[in-house]
A = this chain, B = another copy of it.
Amino acid sequence: MKVAKFGGTSLANAEQIKKVCSIVRADQERRLVVVSAPGKRFKDDTKVTDLLINYAERYLETGEAAAEKQAILGRYQEIVAELHLSVEVGAQIEAELDEVLSNEKRLSPDRFMDAVKAAGEDTCAKVVAHYLRSLGEEAHYINPQEAGMLVTDEVGNAHVLPEAYEKLSALRSGSGITVFPGFFGFTKTGDLVTFSRGGSDITGSILAAAVKANVYENFTDVDSVYVVNPNLIAHPVEVKEITYREMRELSYSGFGVFHEEALIPAYQANIPVCIKNTNNPSAPGTMIVSEPPVSTKRVSGIASDSGFCSIYVSKYLMNKEIGFGRKLLQILEEEYLSYEHTPSGIDNISVILRERDLTADKEQRIVERIQSELRVDDVSVTHGLALVMIVGEGMRQSVGTTARATAALATAKINLEMINQGSSEVSMMFGVKSEEADRAVIALYQEFFGCEEDEKATAHQASSVMV
Min CB–CB distance A260 → chain B (angstroms): 7
Q: Are A410 and B419 in contact (CB under 8 A)?
A: no
Question: Which chain B residues border A406 with CB–CB below 8 Å?
Answer: 402-403, 406-407
Q: Which of A78-100 contact B (CB under 8 A)?
A: none
- Determine if A343 is an interface residue (Cβ-Cβ < 8 Å): yes
- Determine if A338 is an interface residue (Cβ-Cβ < 8 Å): yes
- Determine if A418 is an interface residue (Cβ-Cβ < 8 Å): yes
Q: Are A427 and B337 in contact (CB under 8 A)?
A: no
Q: Which of A30-45 contact B (CB under 8 A)?
A: none
Question: Which chain B residues border A323 with CB–CB below 8 Å?
Answer: 329, 333, 338
**Which stretch from A20-28, A180-188, A198-206, A346-354 is at the chain B interface?**
A346-354
Q: Given A338-B320, A338-B322, A346-B252, A312–B399 Cβ distance below 8 Å?
A: no
Q: Given A248-B316, A346-B249, A423-B349, A407–B403 Cβ distance below 8 Å?
A: yes
Among B317, B325, B345, B415, which residue has its beta carbon within 8 angstroms of that of A264? B317
The CA of A427 and the CA of B418, in the complex, are separated in Å by 11
- Determine if A174 is an interface residue (Cβ-Cβ < 8 Å): no
The CA of A421 and the CA of B406, in the complex, are separated in Å by 12
Q: Which of A372-399 contact B (CB under 8 A)?
A: 396-397, 399
- Determine if A330 is an interface residue (Cβ-Cβ < 8 Å): yes
Min CB–CB distance A186 → chain B (angstroms): 25
The CA of A267 and the CA of B347, in the complex, are separated in Å by 14
- Determine if A341 is an interface residue (Cβ-Cβ < 8 Å): yes
Interface of A (DSSP majority class): mixed
Min CB–CB distance A181 → chain B (angstroms): 26
Q: Are A431 and B422 in contact (CB under 8 A)?
A: yes
The CA of A225 and the CA of B260, in the complex, are separated in Å by 52
The CA of A322 and the CA of B259, in the complex, are separated in Å by 19
Chain B residue nearest to A415 (CB atoms) is B399
Q: Are A423 and B312 in contact (CB under 8 A)?
A: yes
Q: Which of A225-251 contact B (CB under 8 A)?
A: 245, 248-249
Which of A340, A422, A424 has the most CB atoms of chain B within a 10 A radius of its CB?
A422
Min CB–CB distance A392 → chain B (angstroms): 13
- Determine if A321 is an interface residue (Cβ-Cβ < 8 Å): yes
Contact with B along A402-438 (1 / 0, CB 8 A): 1100110111011111111111101111010000000
